[in-house]
Amino acid sequence: MSKLTNTVLYEKLGDIAIIRLNRPEKLNAINMEMVGDFVKAFDQAEKDGVKAVILTGNGRAFCAGADVAEMSNMPIEEVVRRGHMPMWERLRTFRKPVIATLNGITAGGGLELAMACDIIIAAESATLGQPEINLGIMPGAGGTQRLTRTIGKYKAMEMVLTGKMISAWEAYRRGLVTKVVPDEALVDEAIRLANEIASRSGFAEELAKESVSRALDTILSQGLDFERRQFYVTLASADGKEGMKAFVEKRKPNWTT
């Protein structure tokens, strides 16, 4: 395990990286130090050329959201002008697939962080929710938007307006997580999935990720046009030509990206 920074741990395993939020005594609550460390970890993953990232937490939480003590003392001008935005922007612009791996409490900004990833798997003991309303505030990093797009207006309204936490299995039933696994199998399953993704063409994975994400932001006709253009690019790419040739020749492809 490479420490790299104080509040985020970084580990490279072949073509994948594991990034761990590391403030277990604070349930991995996001403070300004973690924001900077998070950016550094994803910069390192990009520099290392990994093909997939696992994002998880140390201790009994994935992430309990923002560090309330720090946030409550920040001038509103600082919150508006900078705040935690570098973290969200770094994750948004990261081109490789990111698997949120929920090892425990996933609340507030922690759930928003998970929803900003590409795939979410959860341990059976994980709990998820948007409890900001209990503090007299509301979600501010995608909780009202991504949650509604994922589980629908009425279920999202219930979670946001009551602050109620739900179990991993309830989250699965609502379509909020991809898979629920026993706690002891969580990291192994994340590594298996990340390696499966990494075994494909990195370039095709990037364009496919971008296309799926675009579906949330466009009407269908625009999304179809975008997808078609991305498809043409993969068709003409070196990996596209190699993959089709390997299929015809009945052999494993040798990806170059």
Cα 62 to Cα 69: distance, rounded to the nearest angstrom: 19
Environment class of 179 (CB within 10 Å of its CB; exposed 0-12, middle 13-18, buried 19+): middle
Residues 6 or more apart whose Cβ sits within 8 Å of residue 235: none
Cα 124 to Cα 186: distance, rounded to the nearest angstrom: 9
The torsion angles phi and psi of 181, rounded to 5 degrees, stand at: -130, 160
* Residue 70 a catalytic site member: no
* Residue 152 a catalytic site member: no
Residues 6 or more apart whose Cβ sits within 8 Å of residue 10: 2, 3, 4, 17, 18, 19, 20, 41, 44, 45
Cα 221 to Cα 60: distance, rounded to the nearest angstrom: 44
Question: Of 29, 61, 66, 126, which residue is the catalytic one?
Answer: 66
The total of other beta-carbon atoms located within 10 Å of residue 57's CB is 26
The residue type of 100 is A
* Residue 132 a catalytic site member: yes
Cα 106 to Cα 102: distance, rounded to the nearest angstrom: 7
Question: Of 104, 109, 110, 202, which residue is the catalytic one?
Answer: 109
* Residue 78 a catalytic site member: no
**Among all residues, which ones are annotated catalytic?**
66, 109, 112, 132
